[in-house]
Amino acid sequence: MRTPLSKEDTTKVMRCMLTFLFTLLVSGCINITNELQPTDADVKDVLMGEDCTPIILGFGLGTNRIDYALKDGRPYGDVGEFRSRINLNRRTTITRIRTIQLTEFYILLVGSRCVQVLGEP
C-alpha cells in the first residue's frame, strides 16, 4: 500500500512541473527568413535548394554552404517550361539564382538554420 505524498513533497513536485512548463513556454517559436540579395525578377523560382544545420536545446554545429544548396534543387513553384530540365526523382542543380535566403526555425527546444537558394535549372 502506498503512502500519500506529504504536503512538502507535493509542493516540490508542483515546483518542478511549473519550472518545466515555464521553460517550454519561454522557449517559444521562431520562423524568420532573411534575404541576402535583392530578388532577380528575371529568374523564376522553379527550384529550391537548401543546406541546413539542426539545433537542439540551443546547440548546433555545422556550416551551411551555398554551393551545397545549389546542388540540392527540388521543384518549388510552377515548373512549366523547365519540366524537361528537372530530375523529379533526384536533385537538379540550380544555375540561375533568383534569391538567397537565410531561414531560422525553432519550435520549443529544437530547430534549424538553413541557407536557401531559389532559382532555375
Instruction: Please provide the DSSP assignment of 11-72 as one string.
Output: HHHHHHHHHHHHHHHHH-EEEEEEESS---TTS---EEEEEEEEEETTB------HHHHHTT
* Three-class DSSP category at 9: helix
Mean pLDDT of the chain: 87
d(CA 118, CA 121): 10
Mean pLDDT lowest among 18-22, 44-48, 87-91: 87-91
What pLDDT is recorded for position 9?
A: 81
Q: What are the residue boundaries of the structural domains of the chain, listed by start?
A: 28-120
108 phi/psi in degrees, rounded to 5: 60, -110
- Give the tens place of pLDDT for each residue, 96-110: 999 999 999 988 778
